[in-house]
Chain A
Amino acid sequence: MSEHIVPVRIYIGVFLALMALTALTTAVAFIDLGRWNTVAALAIAVTKMFLVVLFFMHLKYSSGLTQLVLLAGFFWLAIMVTLTLSDELTRWWTQTSGSWSALLPFLLRLF
């Protein structure tokens, strides 16, 4: 399965797409989108990551086991970040403001 040979034009295409996304994300940083600047920058970064992982790192052509290993990696990263934030963002919660909407101001501080 790792034998799959990717055509050169796909590598070039992925390279050009990555360059275009880099230019785009740099340009967007100079436009005031409020909170959406962070969302846009990270969405573009995730897109670029997928392009590198799927084509340059051949994950598109790899075995399901290899794909599962990477998925597990991101799952563990999500556990680490989410549980850490669930502590950090709720430290100022009091008995009286214990509703879920009280979390919103803290979440909005993330970006």
Chain B
Amino acid sequence: MADLAAHGVHPPGFAHQFEDMEQQRDAGSLGMWVFLVTEIMFFGGLFASYIIYRALDLRAFETGSRLLDIRFGAANTAVLIGSSLTMALAIRSAQVGKPKSQIIFYLIMTMILGALFLGLKFTFEWRHDYVEHLVPGFGFAYKGPFAHGVELFFCFYFFMTGLHALHMIVGLGILTVLTIMASRGRFTEQYYAPLEISGLYWHFVDIVWIFLFPLLYLIGGRYVLGGN
């Protein structure tokens, strides 16, 4: 494969500083993984402070957790897992050289599921929280036990889900670019690095939600139905 690097021979998408396509692919995904490690630390700061404040005020955090609607959390988890599947299938379509229409189909499916997640989050869940006066700084008026700690819980809830939603919005922008690239026939069996690398990002955002779901919705003593 070394002749690929010979002067003047440039298959589509191949950058001539690499020995061959495989080295280019490995370098690209390694770079993305390093970025994702910085993202782990970025979200990790929030997770660490959540752990501490939850330990300091466990009853309040459990009460706050029970004020969330678990149906939205579970439904959105399923939606995101579905979008991860279609993302993985989009990459696979490129890898095995399927026509670009199939890549575009899976990318658009991923975008629809991502948009569905955000739609559920913003128009139903956050709106519901607003109507119930559970948004700190915007008419927070919860009067039950541990009101102060519950307000802190909702600060965490909105920061964590908000930061996650921001990542989703960025992801939708990336998917739009990928769809345009795919429609121009930019991806081949040899060159699909933008799909692979964006896929890593999309799956990472899915994993963040996989942890937010139990931390925010599940570990609040749900079995205490109807009472605090």
Contacts and interface: CB of A to CB of B under 8 A. Distances in A.
Interface of A: 1-3, 5-6, 8, 11-12, 14-15, 18-19, 22-23, 25-26, 28-32, 37-38, 41-42, 44-45, 48-49, 52-53, 55-58, 62-63, 65-66, 69-70, 72-74, 76-77, 80-81, 84-85, 88-89, 106, 109-111
Interface in B14-56: 22, 25-26, 29-30, 33-34, 36-37, 40-41, 44-45, 47-48, 51-52, 54-56
B218 A52 contact: no
A32 B74 CA distance: 19
A32, A62, A88: residue with the most chain B Cβ atoms closer than 10 Å: A88
B43 to A, nearest CB: 9
Interface of B: 22, 25-26, 29-30, 33-34, 36-37, 40-41, 44-45, 47-48, 51-52, 54-56, 58, 70, 74, 77-78, 81-82, 84-85, 87-89, 92, 95-96, 196, 199-200, 203-204, 206-207, 210-211, 213-214, 217-219, 221-223, 225
Main secondary structure of the interface of A (DSSP, over half): helix
Contacts, number: 148
B45 A3 contact: no
Nearest to A35: B219
